[in-house]
C-alpha cells in the first residue's frame, strides 16, 4: 500500500511538471522577460496603476489613492484587488527588475499556479489518485478556453499575448 502511494505521488508530480512545461512552451515565457507593457483588456492600465502605487501611494504610506492619469481621475485599488499589485511592486524593488517584468510575472503566476492549486485543493478535500491530477489537467483546459476574453480566469482574459513598448 505504501509503495503504491509513492508511485501515485511520482506519477502526479511528473504529470504536474509536464503541464507546467507545456504551458511554458506554448506561452513562450521568453516574452515575460522583455521590458514591455502587456496590452489587451485592462492589462495596459494595470501597469499605470502599479507604477502609481510604487511612485506615489506607497511612499505616502497609503494603500489606495486618486490617480489623475486615468479617466480624468480614478480611485486606484478601489475596484481592483491590491495584493497582486503589491507583489509586483515588491518584486520590482527587491529584485531590482523593471516593474513591467515584475507585473507580467505576477500575471503569469496566477496562470501557472492554477493547476497546482487545483491539485492540492482536491488533495485537501481527500480525493484519491487520480482525481487530483485529472482536476489539474482540466484546469489547464480551462486556461486555454477561448470562448471569452473578459472576466478573468482563462489566458485570453487574464493576459493578452500582445506586447507593446
Region 85-103: what's the mean pLDDT? 94
- pLDDT tops 80 at residue 156: no
Over the range 89-119, which residues count as b (16 or more CB within 10 Å of their CB) and which as e? bebbeeeeeebbbbbbbbbbeebbebbeebb
**pLDDT tens-digit series, residues 100-125:** 999 999 988 989 999 999 999 999 99
Which pLDDT score, from 0 to 100, does residue 159 have?
A: 63
Q: For residue 37, give the nearest of 83, 121, 104 by alpha carbon.
A: 104
pLDDT-derived band at 58, boundaries 50, 70, 90: very high
Global pTM value: 0.80
Which pLDDT score, from 0 to 100, does residue 45 have?
A: 80
- Looking at every residue in the chain, the average pLDDT score rounds to 87
Pairing state between β 37-38 and 163-164: antiparallel
Which pLDDT score, from 0 to 100, does residue 157 have?
A: 74
Which pLDDT score, from 0 to 100, does residue 2 have?
A: 62
pLDDT-derived band at 25, boundaries 50, 70, 90: very high
- pLDDT tops 80 at residue 43: no
- Three-state SS for 5-47 is HHHHHHHHHHHHHHHHHHHHHHHCHHHHHCCCEECCCCHHHHH
Distances (CA, A) of 131 to 8, 83, 126, 137, 162: 11, 31, 10, 10, 35
Nine-digit cell string for 37: 507593457
Which pLDDT score, from 0 to 100, does residue 163 have?
A: 38
Region 122-131: what's the mean pLDDT? 96
Highest mean pLDDT among 17-21, 31-35, 38-42, 66-70 belongs to: 17-21
Region 10-38: what's the mean pLDDT? 92
pLDDT-derived band at 3, boundaries 50, 70, 90: low
Amino acid at each position: 500500500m505504501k509503495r503504491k502511494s509513492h508511485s501515485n505521488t511520482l506519477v502526479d508530480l511528473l504529470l504536474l511538471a509536464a503541464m507546467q512545461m507545456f504551458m511554458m512552451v506554448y506561452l513562450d515565457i521568453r516574452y515575460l522577460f522583455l521590458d514591455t507593457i502587456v496590452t489587451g483588456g485592462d492589462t495596459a492600465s494595470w501597469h499605470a496603476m502599479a507604477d502609481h502605487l510604487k511612485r506615489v501611494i506607497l511612499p505616502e504610506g497609503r494603500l489606495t489613492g486618486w490617480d489623475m492619469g486615468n479617466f480624468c481621475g480614478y480611485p486606484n485599488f478601489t475596484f481592483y484587488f491590491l495584493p497582486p499589485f503589491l507583489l509586483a511592486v515588491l518584486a520590482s524593488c527587491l529584485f531590482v527588475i523593471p516593474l513591467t517584468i515584475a507585473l507580467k510575472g505576477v500575471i503569469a503566476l496566477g496562470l501557472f499556479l492554477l493547476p497546482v492549486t487545483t491539485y492540492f485543493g482536491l488533495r485537501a478535500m481527500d480525493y484519491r489518485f487520480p482525481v487530483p491530477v485529472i482536476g489539474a489537467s482540466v484546469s489547464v483546459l480551462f486556461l486555454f478556453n477561448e470562448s471569452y476574453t473578459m472576466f478573468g480566469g482563462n489566458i485570453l482574459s487574464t493576459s493578452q499575448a500582445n506586447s507593446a513598448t
